Chain A
C-alpha cells in the first residue's frame, strides 16, 4: 500500500473508532462503573492496561527525541519533532484512559492538592504533570519559527498558525538559535523527569507487596525498557506514514528499527530472567501470576499476541534482510507496538486475578468478587475511542504541523 492509501486508512479508522468510543463514553458518564467488568478482586482492568500502555509510548518517544535534542544524534534528527509530538499525544491518551477508570472523575484535582508523597501514585502524578508542561513547552519552541513563518498563509491554516504562535513574530536566525537553546534545556530537564515518572509507573506496581506478580525490583527497570521498545516501535510506524512517509524517512526508519531490535532483545532478556527466577524458586504465590499469564484462560494473549505477533515475527523482520526495507521495518514496529498492549494486559490482570485469601471469591455471591475478568463492551468502546482520538490527533498533526526539512533553517510551511 502506498503512503496515500495508508493515510486514508488512518483517517477512516480514526473517525470510526472515535465515533464508536463516544458510545462508550456516554455509558461511562451516564452509568458510572456499573457496566465495567472489573470488580474488587481484579480491580484494575483494560483501562489501567491502556493507561500504562499509552504512557509507556509517551515516555519512550520522548526519550528517543532526547537523543536528538540532548545527545545530538544526527540520524534521528528528522523524527525529533515527530517524537515529541507523539509523546504529547500519547500522554494525553493515557490520561484520558485513566480518567475513565477512576471512581470520581471530577475529583482529579485532589491528586495535586492532597498529594500523599508516601504513595508512588502521587509521585507519578506530580512528575507527569511536570512532564506534560515540559513537553508542551518543548514542542512549542520546536515549532515556533515554522508557526511564525506559516502565519502569513491564507485561509484557516494561517489562522491556526497565527493562534498557535501565541503572538510570536520573530523569524530571525538569532531567535531560532535561542529556541534551540531553550529546547536543549527543556529536553535535558525532561530526561530525568521522564525516567523518574515512568520508573514511577513501574514502582507503582512494584511496591505492592500484596501482589507477588508485581513485587519485583525489576519492575521500574522493565517499564523503562519496554517504554523505549514500544515508543521506538511506534515511531517507526509514524515516521513511515507521517507527511513525506517512508520514502523520505527511509534511513531514519531503518536506524530506528535497529535500535528497537536491540532494545527488544534486552527486554526479552529481562522477561526471561524474571520467569526463570520465579519458576526456579517455585513459590506458589510468586508463580501464580506467571502461571495465569502463560496457562490461564487467556494463555493466547501471552503466546500469540505477545510472543508470536509482538516479539518473534518482528524480531525476524528486523534481523532478516527485510530490515533494509522501511516498509517491513515499520510493519515490525506496528506489530511490536500492538503486541505491547498484550504485555500491559498481562502485567495488570494476572497480578490481580488471584485470591488473596483462599475462598474469598466464593464467600459472597457477586460478579465483582471473581478472579475471572474480561473487559466489558463499555471498556472496549472507551478504549477504542481513545485509540481513535489518537489517530485523529495524528491526522491533524500530519495536516497542520510544519514539515521536516532536509536542511535545518530552511522554512517550507
Chain B
C-alpha cells in the first residue's frame, strides 16, 4: 500500500491502473481517493480521460510506438514522398507503400483540393494480421511496426481484403522498363527489412503482399531512428512541405506526441476500432 501511494501522484494513471490500485489500497484509501477529487462516475467512465494526457493515454507496453502525424494543410501534392519511398524500397510498378490521394472538397471557399499522403497506419489492432492464415504478417513486439515475412507469405491476399485503408499491395512481378532492360539500376537490391533481396522472377517478394514498413531497415540495433543522421522514413525525410511528422508516441517529448497533445488530430475510419498510428491534421 505504501508503494502504491508513493507511485500514484508521480505520473498520470490510466483508468485501469487507477482501478487496480484503488482495489489494492482498500476501502479507507478509496474514501481518501474519492474525496481527493475522484468520483464514482469517473471510475465508471467508458474511456480514460485521454484528451488531458494523450501521450500517456496511448503509451503501450512496447518499447516504441512509432507513428506519424500528417498535416494535410502543409501537403502540396508534389508526391515527393511517393518517389522517395520508391527510391528507398525499390518497389515495382503497382506497389507503392505510400500514395497521395487528391480530393476536391465541396464545403470550402477556395478551390484547394485535399491532398493526403497515406502510408500504412501500423494499427494498434491491425485486422490484416489476424486474418493471415500462416502468421506471415505480424506486429513487431518492440515497436509495433506491421511487417511481412516474405518467405512465409503464400500470397493469398486475404490481408489486402482485410485492410480498411488500402495499404497493402500484391507484387505481380512487373518491373519498370529500366529494371526489365537490365540497366545498372536493375542490379541494386532493395534494402527492405535489411534483407537486400535481388529481384528475380518468381522469387519473393514477387508473389507476396507488400506494404510500408516505416523504413524499418533504417533503425539501429536498439530500434531507434535518427533524423539528423538521415535514418528516418524516406517519405518523412523528403517531404517538401514538412507535412509528414514521424516519431515515437511512447515518448511524451517526441514531436508526434506533442502534436497530438496540442492539436486536434483525426484518424481514418475510427469506427472500425483499428486504432491507426497515423494521425491527420486537417
Contacts and interface: CB of A to CB of B under 8 A. Distances in A.
Interface of A: 31-34, 36, 39-41, 43-44, 101-104, 107-108, 110-111, 114-116, 118-122, 125, 204, 207-211, 351-352, 355-360, 362-364, 366-369
B131 A121 contact: yes
Contact of A360 (B99, B162, B174): B99
B94 A368 contact: yes
Contact of B166 (A36, A108, A115, A355): A355
A366 B170 contact: no
Interface of B: 82, 93-96, 99-103, 118, 127, 130-136, 152-158, 160-166, 168-174, 201-202, 204, 206-209, 268, 272
Nearest to B95: A40
A122 B134 contact: yes
Contacts, number: 152
The 9 A-B residue pairs whose C-beta atoms are closest, nearest first, are A103-B155, A103-B207, A210-B164, A359-B101, A368-B94, A363-B99, A366-B94, A121-B133, A116-B135
8 contacts: A39-B172, A44-B161, A103-B171, A111-B133, A357-B268, A358-B101, A364-B82, A368-B170
B162 A103 contact: no
A268 B187 CA distance: 57
Q: Is the interface of A mostly helix, strand, loop or mixed?
A: loop
Contact of A119 (B93, B94, B130, B161): B130
A104 B166 contact: no
A195 B194 CA distance: 45
Given A114-B134, A363-B96, 20 more contacts: A32-B172, A33-B172, A40-B169, A102-B155, A103-B156, A104-B208, A118-B130, A119-B131, A121-B156, A204-B158, A208-B127, A208-B161, A209-B272, A210-B127, A210-B161, A355-B166, A357-B165, A363-B101, A363-B118, A366-B93
A39 B163 CA distance: 15
A367 B93 CA distance: 9
Contacts of B156: 101-103, 121
A107 B154 contact: yes
B173 to A, nearest CB: 5
A110 B134 contact: yes
B157 A359 contact: no
A407 B163 CA distance: 57
